[in-house]
Structure 1
């Protein structure tokens, strides 16, 4: 699985609240799956012993159990597909008598056949019809439960690598906000984030180790005294000084368009991936397959045309010879 390009979403459940600094998606979970998303980033909180979907301090009005039911039904109708789901505890538990990790375990235990909670990297064949857990929460007895990404760094300016106890390596780019002392205009923030994303895309494709995971978050925002730039503006683009500034999504689309052939980019977790570049998810998926370059396609067209013209010429000459032998003349008209 780590050798593939996997389209994903950041804060996958943040589609119920339209406030600009909470919403990160336009599609619901089912829509994301149908569109080709195969990595989901689920941020959770525990209230009254129930696991709810959150985005920081915001309650999104969704229960984790409901989202899991949607995934299970979708996998039943798409048994050859595989999902990677990261579960993160994104806020402290409230009015609860159980530990967060226990509540998650109870949710997963409702359909254990749909989960792979091993701490190693699976191959695609063994994950078909199932969900690989990326665990971004701690607990008293979770040493071997899911792939452990609890060493995740918060807003690092450079990519970092997690080395798990079970020989899994994950390199992550998740620089989502300028430092407090910095103030970035929309063009500057998009350009710097684009550089972060492209750097890890190049690194992932250049690494010959197929077992090394790459997680590349294209999301960013800014909220300070000088600028208030929402996740959607960074992802899709916006007007700045009376000029449209394209966001990360169209820039990523252009990057992928100019690089043909089979490539490994790892997990690419996006905000609003269906907006700003309509075929972005599809292009990420096709990077897993061999693709002919524009030059290859041109030569193939020329070859086919040459063969066709040769066939037409052969048929024409043969017809003329037959007509001459029958005394019908050499004109085909």
Structure 2
């Protein structure tokens, strides 16, 4: 599927400016679109949904690591409906429009072409198409910023180039859209661009993107990566239990892992310290087969509905007060199980009134309403008496 088809599928064919923008790259392959076509202007986003513009009015000087950033795990795994492959329902455009700003892209190199994969599964998408979609979206949302983590998730097949070289060539088609520096950016320098998190190795890549190649596989505890360039990232990615766990037990334990890192991120006063918190998990063994969707959204267990990570995370976020930094929260099916989950994460970047503060006006409104009703009744009685009609309220 080409870029234009993906864009329209996501419901973005909503105006002449965006239609003109898309016609610039009908095929979805090179040459990459790096500037607006002549005569096309960026539409105003003032009235756009919050998910499309939530970074718009944040301070340029804030470090990206100091924000709460909604993200997705295995972001491209929406094309295959197999329960243990699919991790998303929204496509890339849907994710961006909903407020997702961290994308976890897993790639494999086949016949010198970078394809999106989930482990051994090939998803039927090319990296070049997904990047074109992001570039087009950033053109119409120039004050937003993205973080893209690229991982080699499958051994190269029938290819004459190194995976790292293929990624470099792909990014080099639109260098103005990327920040491949190895330090933490502030929001102002990343607006309209993509920060690379590099989860692949290769020759001469020592200073290419923020290096997360020390990522541990399925650790039971959060771990911290210290890069050569003084960037620190603490990560929670315990996605599969070591022993068989029932659905309620797995959700409770994974939920505890998630909340623990949320609390750590909020408590740490070092705004330059990154936190990446994966809410995803699954289980597949002789006793239990629990898909990513069941863990994220919930499922029936012993004839009783067990709410998943998403609704529990939503409840946790609702009871927190004020502005709080949670870091990157990478989720499965963030649009399912809790309708306002992404919005709750976004809102933690802003000061929020407490629930009590939101309710102070209700007693006043009630008193005023009662006073108005009483005034109307008394006035009506007085008028009826003056007209000699008496009162029907006796």
TM-score by length of 1: 0.90
> Any stretches of 5+ residues in structure 1 without a counterpart?
317-333
Shift of 1:304: 8.0
1:283-323 C-alpha deviation (Å, 9 max, x unpaired): 100000000001222335567889x79xx9xxx9xxxxxxx
Aligned residue for 2:83, secondary structure, equals coil
Q: Distance in 2 between matches of 1:30 and 1:199?
A: 31
Matching residue within 144, 162, 182 for 1:99: 162
Other-structure match for 2:149? 86
Secondary structure in 2 matching 1:2: helix
What does 1:214-229 align with in structure 2 at a 5 Å threshold? 214-229=275-290
CA distance in 1, matches of 2:173, 2:322: 41
> For the residues of structure 2 that align with 1:285 and 1:2, how far apart are their CA atoms?
14
- The 2-side partners of 1:157 and 1:290 are apart by 33
- Report what 2:241 is aligned to: 178
Q: Distance in 2 between matches of 1:151 and 1:274?
A: 30
Cα distance in 2 between the residues matched to 1:119 and 1:303: 55
Q: Which residue of 2 aligns with 1:288?
A: 349
**Match for 1:133 among 196, 199, 203?**
196
The number of equivalent residue pairs is: 312
What does residue range 1-333 of structure 1 map to in structure 2 within 5 Å?
1-179=64-242, 182-299=243-360
SS in 2 for 1:295: helix
CA distance in 1, matches of 2:298, 2:194: 33
Alpha-carbon distance in 2 for matches of 1:74, 1:154: 32
Structure 1 segments, 4+ long, off by >2 Å, are 297-306
Relative contact order, higher structure (CA 8 A, sep 6+)? 1
Q: 1:55 to 1:298 in 2, by over 3 A?
A: same
- Give the Cα–Cα distance (whole angstroms) in 2 for the partners of residues 117 and 123 of structure 1: 14
Q: Which residue of 1 aligns with 2:19?
A: none
What CA distance in whole angstroms lies between the structure 2 residues aligned with 1:110 and 1:291? 42
Please give the per-residue CA displacement for 1:171-228, whole angstroms capped at 9, x wherever unaligned: 000000011xx11000000000000000000000000000000000000000011110
- In structure 2, distance between residues paired with 1:164 and 1:248: 31
Q: Secondary structure at the match of 1:11?
A: coil
Instruction: Give the SS at the match of 1:170.
Output: strand
